[in-house]
Structure 1
């Protein structure tokens, strides 16, 4: 985040900016990543939804036979009732969730979103948008992705993964393609 401070004699204005530096126009960029317990507190996630998310990130071992990944469950491996519970929760809470993951809260909440595209040998491209416009742009229908993650409009919610088997692979993360704003 960049802090812009404008001073006119006795007047002062401070604007927080969310910045995404991108080197691949079709790549995805993490916008938020936390432990489930943090999201539970932030969004008051009910226990039944939390438990499903624990299976999804691998905090709990799969409860089905022959999962695609023995460490966790994909959302499309839950039964239809469980999938519906997840979709309903994220649909109902989408405004709060998108505000938190894109804008943030408190004194460091972003008012602007800057995307800088830097590709070798090409001229630098950038775009600056008001954060509320960005939130509206990325919002949309909540549904399961083909890969078994969750799509909240143009945002992907997934298990972090990677990290060579470290515990941090079980974090929940949200990703976007910032170049879609161009």
Structure 2
């Protein structure tokens, strides 16, 4: 497992994705980047050049193009970056309106409606619950089973969308940078990440939210009362990737 901590990573800093792009572009003089390239399966003496850039509004934060001396090919790698400031570091991996998820995952209309009650996009249908939204454990047993069955039946598909995404900018790697007392990083291939967060059942938590393997689903909340508080979000603890 490739990981690094200490003076080199602290000295150069990881303030933003742009800093990581700079490290890739100056790979010959950057010990951290040399470790990343080795982790990605390269022999340093077979690399002709490395070019990287930031990508916006996709699962991929950084795209790296590597030109090889052994065969003349240019390999493209998409990397998602997660920056943590504490040991738990829960991090949002996806956030959208319920209707968007319905289109993506073919969520049945009745399940979609329940999820909108959950986020508060539709106001509660009973008087004895929070005025802004409902929790999953406030639905009837049949309604709860409806939601659970959908996420159980589509679990892997959903988790792949949440972590890797789709299309030309789907992520192939996740780079986690943790900045606590000391700074450390871990670079993991996306299939290994998906496998890790897929482990575990789909169930309703004691707080009335949903757990999908090791991924948490909840209402976004916050936003000073704006409508965007009623979006659905999914969160992980990327710090766990240091343990696998």
Unaligned 5+ runs, structure 2: 1-60
Deviations 1:148-168 (A, max 9, x none): 110001111000000000010
Unaligned 5+ runs, structure 1: none
Q: Note the C-alpha offset of 1:92.
A: 0.5
Give the secondary-structure state (helix, strand or coil) at the position aligned to 1:108. Answer: coil
Matched, 1:113 2:174: yes
Provide the C-alpha distance between the structure 2 equivalents of 1:137 and 1:114, rounded to a whole number of angstroms: 15
Mapping 1:89-108, distance limit 5 Å: 89-108=150-169
Decide which moves more: 122-131 or 152-161.
122-131
Provide the C-alpha distance between the structure 2 equivalents of 1:22 and 1:59, rounded to a whole number of angstroms: 30
Provide the C-alpha distance between the structure 1 equivalents of 2:126 and 2:193, rounded to a whole number of angstroms: 38
| TM-score calculated relative to the size of structure 1 | 0.96
* Higher relative contact order (CA closer than 8 Å, sequence separation 6+): 1
Correspondent of 1:12 among 62, 65, 74: 74
Correspondent of 1:138 among 197, 203, 216: 197
Matched, 1:172 2:232: yes
Provide the C-alpha distance between the structure 2 equivalents of 1:8 and 1:181, rounded to a whole number of angstroms: 29
Indicate the structure (1 or 2) with the bigger Cα radius of gyration. 2
Aligned residues: 179
| TM-score calculated relative to the size of structure 2 | 0.72
Matched, 1:88 2:149: yes
Provide the C-alpha distance between the structure 1 equivalents of 2:182 and 2:118, rounded to a whole number of angstroms: 41
Alpha-carbon RMSD across the aligned residues, in angstroms, is 0.9
